[in-house]
Chains A and B, each alone.
Chain A
Amino acid sequence: MKKEDTVKLISREGFEFIIDKKAAMVSQTIRNMLTSPGSFAETEHGQVTFPEINTTILEKICQYFYWSLQYARSYLTFNINTINYCYVCPVLIS
């Protein structure tokens, strides 16, 4: 996969998640970061650091992005029997 199509998300602890740009753009905020007209640091380097988000949550977020991309947005392949729920453990949130 080309580098331009991916984006690196870095957690508070410094863990790096390299995911599809498409998936990252599920988040409107990340979309803005990557597409804002003047090139911010994020757009230039293709990476975003989240000093306030810990690794576990960022991982879950990334999972959610892919889940959302696959199930929540693709109306065409939607099928009630095959749907998988994105399970978020309550512990994570506390």
Chain B
Amino acid sequence: MSAPKKKNFQIEAFKHRVVVDPKYAEKTWKILEHAIHEIYNHNASGLSFEELYRNAYNMVLHKFGEKLYSGLVSTMTAHLKEIAKHIESTQGGLFLEELNRIWAEHNKALQMIRDILMYMDRTFIPSTHKTPVHELGLNLWRDNIIHSSKIHKRLQDTLLELVQHERTGEVINRGLMRNVIQMLMDLGSSVYQEDFEKPFLDVSADFYRLESQQYIECCDCGDYLKKAEKRLIEEIERVSHYLDTKSEPKLTNVVEKEMIESHMHRLVHMENSGLVNMIVNDKYEDLGRMYNLFRRVSTGLALIRDVMTSHIREIGKQLVTDPEKLKDPVDFVQRLLDEKDKHDKIISSAFNNDKTFQNALNSSFEFFINLNPRSPEFISLFVDDKLRKGLKGVTEEDVEIILDKVMMLFRYLQEKDVFEKYYKQHLAKRLLSGKTVSDDAERSLIVKLKTECGYQFTSKLEGMFTDMKTSQDTMQGFHAAAGADLAEGPSLTVQVLTTGSWPTQSVNTCNLPSEILGVCDRFKTYYLGTHTGRRLSWQTNMGTADLKATFGKGQKHELNVSTYQMCILMLFNKADRMSYKEIEQATEIPASDLKRCLQSLACVKGKNVLRKEPMSKDIAEDDAFYFNDKFSSKFYKVKIGTVVAQKESEPEKQETRQRVEEDRKPQIEAAIVRIMKSRRVLDHNNIVAEVTKQLQSRFLPNPVVIKKRIESLIEREFLERDKTDRKLYRYLA
């Protein structure tokens, strides 16, 4: 082939043969009509596609499109009416199968008809805005078969009946179901929705309403949930097997509504098997199931959460207010931790670690821990106990875990400053008596407190550690300076504590034995010599002493005692018998402490280095004490503990409380001034709100106290009331 030659030519329009035969259209249509009949009768093999196509083509070309189209509609309608009759007459069980078979045939025929009428489909139909052949076929099928009065209801009932059968455990022909449902979907989503989905959902709702009613009467909560879950899975499976995927949310919605939502409250509150019971018995599986089912319902989780919260609050309230359980603070805190662990585990393993549940748990704990005003003290005691002895032989990670848990409880406290007070006291005791087990653990806890509450919260605690360290250095310096002079007589270790950093103690100086007094004075001169402008006072109530004692049979023991006890024992170097009054006069130890010391020296079995007359458990003012010659012990070193009140006694508690209140005053004032400095003018309620907000990391200030502080500030002319509006306060620079 070569390139086209350049030659002018004209392409003339194709000339159709003019149809002369007036019966042309009628004749041609007859051929086509016959063909459509044959196609429906499965006799297509005798037909020539080319001929039919050409005829249809020519008809459209010769403006007989309208005739062709209407002919098609009427022929097809007639056929479908025939089919409808046939389907109506089919017997019971075969109904669906027959319908399905004929539907497949209709589809095939429709495809063929569309093929031979392709030209009409492509040119005539778009230009006249008629329904394309395929769609036309479906519409006619819908109107003549599905919506035919006798078939419509029967089809619906048959389908619903089959589903009902399957729900009651029978096996049905799912493939057939799928095909028939697919047919409905092919006929348009509105057909599927109107003719099947809607009644189906209604029937499902009825079914599950009835079933759930039965279940709830005879099953406990766990079993009911299992059944509901099974039903839900079944329905989802049903959708995937033979329903439109769009039906899934609607269908599950029905099940959820009937099986869960309407019985939700009854389930949760079911006696002996409801939510509370599950929580108490750690039924993770049931709880998880409940969570997953209830999550599907809008208010389901809120309900679980509310019930759980009130349950935890109830338990917690019992825990913190039961006087029996308040006896042992360590046990008390341990119980709280156990409770927290238990519910944490439930939330993590059954409630999908839901944040809202965690929050609910936290707020519940916050609620009941603060119900008991002694919680801060107990938590500090718990830490004290752990750091004194509980952490021996425990790995570092475990220590961290315990401390983290304690911090978690600490976070719930509203009165963090009260905790600080107690913690300071306990820490002081630990440090001074050298009883702290692990320095690392102590410091790690302080770091945690610092990250939780900021620098100022721990600065004093850190100051205590610094004091301990400097004291060591000071002692080294002292021993180096005094040197040989100290070789004789008792050796002295002093811890110099900064006032302010340590918990303030009422100074009850006792009379120290002269031997000790000498060394003490030497240290005092040494210390004041190196540090000018300082004042030293002895805290005799906090020290300890090691004494070497020889008893009746010549056996020697080293007695580890407190400073007070040391003072008492030293008196017996000069006398074998002393009365209570004599001891009190000689030592000037405060009465309550003295009694406690004497009790521990004379009344504890195995450690009774003193003998008391008369023999009794309690110390009376007219008792007399003797040096116990017959004292014996298996050990060389004997540690004589003081009968300490671990927990604070009632007056002590009051005192601490008062001190805390006292300490809060300047903090509240500082907060008020800070706020007013930036706001200049503010009304009362806003000040209270802001102050509360600023201080809530440390404690919850009482509005009445805030009001008092404001008044005090007005008195001292930091603030003034607005002259016109008395509710407004004004900052005075």
Contact = CB atoms under 8 A, between A and B. Distances in A.
Is chain B a partner of chain A in the same complex? yes
A78 interface: no
Contact of B39 (A32, A38, A87, A90): A38
B112 A36 contact: yes
Nearest to A39: B45
Contact of B47 (A40, A85, A86): A40
Interface in A20-58: 29, 32-33, 36-44, 48-52
B435 to A, nearest CB: 88
Interface residues of A, number: 24
A74 interface: no
A54 B547 CA distance: 136
B44 interface: yes
A85 B4 CA distance: 9
A66 to B, nearest CB: 12
Query: What's the dominant secondary structure at chain B's contact region?
Result: helix
A1 interface: no
A69 to B, nearest CB: 16
A37 B112 contact: yes
Interface in B625-663: none
B488 interface: no
Contacts of B2: 87
A62 to B, nearest CB: 15
Nearest to A50: B50
A42 B44 contact: no
B115 A87 contact: no
Contacts of A37: 108, 111-112
A76 interface: no
Interface in B305-334: none
Interface residues of B, number: 26
Given A32-B118, A37-B111, A87-B2, A94 B12 contact: yes
A47 to B, nearest CB: 10
B12 to A, nearest CB: 6
A40 B1 contact: no
Interface in A75-93: 84-87, 90, 93
Given A85-B1, A87-B4, A36 B115 contact: yes
A6 B47 CA distance: 20
Max chain A C-beta neighbours (<10 A), residue from B1, B11, B49: B49
Nearest to A38: B44
B192 interface: no
Nearest to A28: B118
Nearest to B38: A38
Contacts of A39: 44-45
A49 B50 contact: yes
Contact of B48 (A38, A40, A52): A40
Contacts of B154: none
A29 B117 CA distance: 11
The 5 closest A-B pairs by CB, nearest first: A38-B44, A40-B49, A33-B49, A36-B115, A38-B112
Interface of B: 1-4, 7, 9, 11-12, 39, 42, 44-50, 53-54, 108-109, 111-112, 115-116, 118
